[in-house]
């Protein structure tokens, strides 16, 4: 009889604690999840901050939070589960009455993009786990990760394909509008910098010596195609990602120097986009920040051929520094870059790969290739196809 009574009491206690803990575990339970910053760059470290508050007398013996994030946000020191592009991290708590707990997860941004954690799953139950309950909790934590700022001068080196194919050390973007003097021509100088009156006077080729000033403007044209004949989706994503980083670096330089800048690309930021991106020109921080957001959101696809986009923007560009960033070189692209030079622009081409259509070479624009690129033979003065 005593055994039955004890069993009955135990059953009553079990059912009671199950009803109380499972019925009221989420009552007055507040959960918040947010990133320590709203914006970051590739490679930056930051924190994901969780705050849990149990605002009732009844304790919560155990609580698990399932956080669904991106695999490109690397949670340091955690055992997370990765499936394709998703990462799942579990956080566990034990909460006393009216207890507030804050936990920080250190994470590293491995890739550009916009990362959003809209909801998490709160899981709890009774003391013996006979019953488990769960509910979704909206957090709407968003992080904008901008492309990494790289060292262009270290990664790319200029090569004069028209003359002796010798490399020279020169900054990719200098100022064509600030003339600080005249000097003798050296291999690698573009022909549109030749100072003809001084050349006639001295009998030697002389070029304008440019200085740096905040009065110039810059136009960055990014090609989202990794090869000449490529429709929609980008095939060689690694090369194009490097181009996005190069674009971000040029925008960062422009911002620091107060240079008016615009961005053009045949890419898109939404899957249903049908038109290329070509922004206005400005030098303020808000404008450049919007350009960074475009780069962060760029999808690995194009909405039109890059050469067609250049045909559309050619009439708009004059008296500006134009930097074309592309993974390949085509005959038409060389012709278009020469047209830009003849229209009074300074044109530089950053080539992300040694992909050429035949043996085409730009005649007037400056060409920059990867430093130490095995496809470049200084003795032969040729680029591998």
Relative to beta strand 321-326, strand 346-351 is parallel
Lowest mean pLDDT among 75-89, 123-137, 145-159, 355-369: 355-369
Say if residues 42 and 70 touch (Cβ distance below 8 Å): no
Is the pLDDT at 279 greater than 80, yes or no? yes
Say if residues 319 and 342 touch (Cβ distance below 8 Å): no
Q: Please give the domain boundaries of the chain with CATH numbers for all domains.
A: 26-146 (2.60.40.1530), 152-383 (3.40.50)
Confidence of residue 385 (pLDDT cuts 50, 70, 90): very low
- Token pair, residue 10, equals 């135990």
What percentage of the chain has pLDDT greater than the value 90?
Answer: 44
Q: Average the pLDDT over 335-351 and give the result.
A: 89
Confidence of residue 172 (pLDDT cuts 50, 70, 90): low
What is the spatial distance between Cα 216 and Cα 214, in angstroms, rounded to a whole number?
6
Read off the pLDDT of residues 118-161 as tens digits, 9 standing for 90 and up.
889 999 988 877 888 999 999 999 999 999 999 988 888 877 53
Confidence of residue 363 (pLDDT cuts 50, 70, 90): confident
Lowest mean pLDDT among 97-111, 234-248, 345-359, 363-377: 363-377
pLDDT at 373: 55
pLDDT at 306: 93
Read off the pLDDT of residues 191-229 as tens digits, 9 standing for 90 and up.
666 777 677 777 788 776 655 444 568 999 999 998 878
Confidence of residue 188 (pLDDT cuts 50, 70, 90): low
- Token pair, residue 353, equals 């790969």
The model's pTM: 0.77
Read off the pLDDT of residues 8-27 as tens digits, 9 standing for 90 and up.
766 676 767 777 777 888 89
**SS3 of 363, please?**
coil
Is the pLDDT at 290 greater than 60, yes or no? yes
8: left (phi over 0), alpha (psi -120 to 50) or beta: alpha
- Token pair, residue 103, equals 């936990």
What is the spatial distance between Cα 34 and Cα 140, in angstroms, rounded to a whole number?
8
């Amino acid at each position: 009889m005593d055994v039955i009574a004890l069993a009955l009491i135990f059953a009553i206690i079990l059912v009671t604690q199950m009803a109380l803990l499972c019925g009221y575990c989420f009552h007055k339970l507040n959960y918040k999840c947010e990133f320590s910053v709203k914006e970051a760059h590739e490679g930056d470290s930051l924190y994901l901050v969780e705050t849990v508050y149990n605002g009732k007398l009844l304790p919560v013996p155990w609580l698990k939070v399932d956080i669904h994030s991106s695999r490109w946000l690397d949670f340091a020191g955690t055992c997370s589960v990765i499936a394709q592009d998703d990462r799942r991290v579990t956080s566990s708590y034990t909460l006393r009455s009216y207890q507030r707990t804050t936990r920080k997860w250190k994470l590293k941004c491995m890739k550009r993009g916009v990362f959003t954690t809209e909801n998490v799953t709160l899981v709890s139950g009774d003391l013996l786990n006979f019953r488990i309950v769960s509910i979704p909790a909206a957090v709407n934590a968003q992080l904008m990760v901008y492309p990494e700022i790289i060292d262009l001068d270290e990664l790319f080196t200029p090569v004069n394909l028209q003359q002796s194919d010798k490399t020279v050390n020169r900054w990719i973007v200098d100022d064509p509008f600030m003339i600080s003097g005249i000097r003798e021509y050296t291999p690698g100088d573009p022909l549109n910098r030749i100072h003809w009156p001084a050349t006639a006077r001295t009998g030697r080729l002389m070029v304008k010596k440019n200085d740096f000033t905040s009065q110039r403007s810059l136009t960055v044209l990014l090609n989202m195609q990794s090869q000449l004949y490529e429709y929609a989706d980008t095939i060689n994503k690694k090369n194009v990602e490097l181009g996005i980083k190069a674009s971000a670096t040029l925008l960062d330089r422009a911002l620091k120097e107060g240079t008016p800048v615009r961005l053009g690309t045949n890419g898109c930021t939404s899957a249903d986009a049908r038109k290329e991106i070509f922004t206005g020109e400005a030098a303020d921080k808000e404008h450049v920040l919007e350009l960074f957001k475009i780069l962060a959101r760029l999808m690995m696809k194009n909405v039109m051929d890059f050469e067609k986009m250049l045909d559309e923007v050619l009439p708009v560009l004059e008296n500006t520094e134009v930097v074309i960033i592309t993974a390949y070189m085509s005959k038409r692209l060389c012709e278009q870059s020469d047209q830009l030079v003849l229209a009074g622009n300074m044109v530089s081409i950053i080539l992300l790969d040694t992909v050429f259509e035949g043996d085409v070479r730009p005649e007037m624009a400056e060409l920059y290739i990867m430093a130490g690129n095995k496809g470049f033979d200084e003795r032969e003065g040729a680029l591998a196809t």
